[in-house]
Amino acid sequence: MQTPQGFEIDFVYFANVPPYDDVKKHKHKDFTYHLIEAQDDELTAYLFKIFDDAPTDCKVEILFTSNDKQENEIRSLILKIAMSKTEKPKEDAANDLSMKMYEVTDGRNETGLFIIMQGRKGTSTRVVLARFKRNEGLRNQGGDLEYIKNVFTKSKHYKLAIFEDVPSDKSFWKGYAIDRQSTAQTYKPFSIFWIEDFLQAQTALTSVQGTDQLSKIVKQLLKQTTSLEQQEQIISAVVNLRSKPNAQVSMKSFCQTYLTPELTAIVQKEVNDDFFNSVFDVNKEVMNKELGATVLTLDEGITAYVPTFKYGKHVTEEVKNGKKTVTIQGVLKEKRVNTGKEPVSAEAKPKKAKKNK
């Protein structure tokens, strides 16, 4: 049976996966699982929608983690589902995947409805993995299939991953993921449970690559922007980011948190969607090198801060009479005299009490 987007669905698998029990140490055969025949009903329509929408739903690019020999256990199981011509090897691989899910699920994640779907279109094969949080209120309502239908229609919390490629021994290394439960601020737990622990994958960019590219975009943005207000907004965004240890960001979360929609629109024009949505750890070293400030301490108590990446353009160093001197050159935008007191507006100034004569 075909999805509305023309994928021929070969395999649909469900399993109820409980949190890992250290005492019972379940085997996959202990989980309730089903192989579903696609048919013309509400459940199938819902599944097909998830399957067809997965590429637009999943924004975060992920890569399977390799052991340096192009091997990854979860990728091998997904590849088996994608490449097997018959149902039995697919079912075995799906059971192994649900067992892996069981091993990484702890009490915080509760029992989850784990789904695997696989379909083909042209030379491409797509495998979609999803985990729906089990809604306690729905337990034991009718049979398992009725339960599944209820979870789908009532649960808004799910994790999803899609892998699509031309099947071969060297393909299916890259995918995309999403957690409908997480916000940018809570990305880390999602990344640990779903991407790292279960999928044995990692986000697409290393911290060095991501931070370097973010820095380049910020510098480009500063160059393009003539408004002092916008420049201050960008600089303050950088200062904020620098002050957060172990921050995990994407260009998208950076824009949403610190920049106006106008500046965000400029950024989006400069980068592709995959980079815009890619999540990476901020690398302090790269950040300081690319967007840090050089502090110049001169004689007579003079201190000047110059963004390191603007240093060569605005600062000239010379050696005169054996002493290094510096000249800072630029267009003066604003001059403030630090009085050491909080500025007080004229209206707020307390009036002097009239002296009683």
Partner 1 sequence: MRPDSNDIKEAYISIYKTLETIAGNLETQLGDQLSGTPHIDRVTCRVKGIDSFMTKAEKVNPDGSLKYAVPMKEIQDMIGARIIVYYKTDVPAVREFVKSLYRTAESTTIVPDDVTKFGYEGFHMICFIPNNIFSTRDTPLVSNFFELQIKTLQQHAWSQAEHGLGYKPGVVLTLEQQRLLAFLAAQSWAADKALAELVTGQVAGEEG
Among 29, 88, 156, 170, binds partner 1 (CB under 8 A): 170
* Tokens 């949403």 belong to residue: 256
Total Cβ atoms within 10 A of residue 124: 13
Decide whether 10 or 165 has the Cβ nearer to partner 1. 165
Among 91, 173, 235, 266, binds partner 1 (CB under 8 A): 173
Among 57, 61, 179, 290, binds partner 1 (CB under 8 A): 61
Residues 212-271 that bind partner 1 (CB under 8 A): 212-213, 271
Instruction: Select from 243, 226, 257, 327 the least CA-distant residue to 287.
Output: 243
Q: Which stretch binds partner 1 (CB under 8 A): 163-171, 190-198, 233-241, 252-260?
A: 163-171
How far is Cα 135 from Cα 203, in angstroms, rounded to an integer? 29
Binding mask 65-94 toward partner 1 (x if CB under 8 A, else -) reads: -x-xxx------------------------
171 binds partner 1 (CB under 8 A): yes
Rg of the chain in Å (alpha carbons)? 28
144 binds partner 1 (CB under 8 A): no
Instruction: Select from 135, 172, 140 the least CA-distant residue to 152.
Output: 135
CB of 246 to partner 1, least distance (A): 17
Residues 271-300 that bind partner 1 (CB under 8 A): 271-275, 278
CB of 271 to partner 1, least distance (A): 7
Binding mask 16-55 toward partner 1 (x if CB under 8 A, else -) reads: ----------------------------------------
Q: Which stretch binds partner 1 (CB under 8 A): 14-22, 85-93, 169-177, 260-268?
A: 169-177
168 binds partner 1 (CB under 8 A): yes
Cβ pair 181, 216 in contact under 8 A: no
- Write the DSSP assignment of 167-235 as a string of letters: -STT---EEEEEETT--GGGHHHHIIIIIIIIT-EEESS-HHHHHHHHHHHHHHHHHH---HHHHHHHH
Residues 100-139 that bind partner 1 (CB under 8 A): 124
70 three-state secondary structure = coil
Say how many residues make up the chain: 357
**HSE of 79, CA atoms in CB hemisphere, 13 A:** 15
Decide whether 124 or 316 has the Cβ nearer to partner 1. 124
How far is Cα 97 from Cα 191, in angstroms, rounded to an integer? 18
- Cβ-proximal residues to 202 (8 Å cutoff; 6+ apart), any chain: 62, 63, 65, 195, 196
Q: Which DSSP category does 336 fall into?
A: -
Among 145, 208, 228, 326, binds partner 1 (CB under 8 A): 208
202 binds partner 1 (CB under 8 A): yes
Decide whether 1 or 63 has the Cβ nearer to partner 1. 63
179 binds partner 1 (CB under 8 A): no
206 binds partner 1 (CB under 8 A): yes
- Write the DSSP assignment of 281-314 as a string of letters: E--HHHHHHHH-EEEEE-GGG-EEEEEGGGHHHH
* 179: its two tokens: 């957690």
CB of 124 to partner 1, least distance (A): 7
CB of 155 to partner 1, least distance (A): 28
Q: Interface with partner 1 by CB under 8 A: which residues?
A: 61, 63, 66, 68-70, 124, 164-171, 173-174, 176, 202, 204-210, 212-213, 271-275, 278
